[in-house]
Amino acid sequence: MQQSPIILRDALESDLPAILEIYNDIILTTTAIYSEEPHTLQMRLDWFNERKQAGFPVIVAEQNGVLVGFATYGKFRVWPCYRFTVEHSLYVHRDNRGQGISKILLQEIISLAKSAGMHALIAGVDSENEISLQLHLKFGFTQVARFKEVGFKFNRWLDLIFLEMILS
């Protein structure tokens, strides 16, 4: 059976339970998010509303009517001189990884950031996440920093790698 194409669209509030399921699975099973406690639906609603109010995109990838991933970007740092730099996140449901969905989401986030007049796009990636590191490098990101042992999860220290793409 052939898979239907991936459809990208703006996230709706009604997508939040599916977004929460993806996010919490990643919190509980990977080092992609440096958090240990699952989020609540209210936390995701607050996050969603903050993104929308700030004018930042939240996009979802859908296949056969099922939400299979999501991506967003937001402020890199709060001070005003960082206003043209954003940090992005993208996550894919565990059952849909390895199908190219991350590539589709990343391309869209890059395009949206450029269209919004952003100058730099930052990715913070756990050093053990080789798939995400390679994805970003293939898209033209450059590794600009490695912070050693800044996270602690699953009873071990984690290194965080920052990658950057200059958009303009």
Q: What proportion of the chain, given as a percentage, has pLDDT over 70?
A: 99
CB 59 within 8 A of CB 10: yes
Q: Are 57 and 73 in contact (CB under 8 A)?
A: yes
Average pLDDT, integer, range 127-151: 98
Q: What number is the average pLDDT over the span 85-105?
A: 97
- 2 falls in which pLDDT band (50, 70, 90)? low
- 82-94 pLDDT, tens digit per residue, is 999 999 999 999 9
pLDDT score for 76: 97
Q: Closest Cα partner for 125 from 158, 83, 153? A: 158
Where does 7-166 sit in CATH, by number? 3.40.630.30
Q: What is the pLDDT of residue 168?
A: 85
pLDDT at 29 over 90: yes
Tell me the mean pLDDT in the region 14-31: 98
- Over 90: is that where the pLDDT of 4 sits? no
Q: What pTM was estimated for this model as a whole?
A: 0.95
pLDDT digits (tens, 9 = 90+) for 36-74: 999 999 999 999 999 999 999 999 999 999 999 999 999
Within 62-164, where are the H helices? 101-115, 130-138
For the beta carbon of residue 159, count every other beta carbon within 10 angstroms.
15
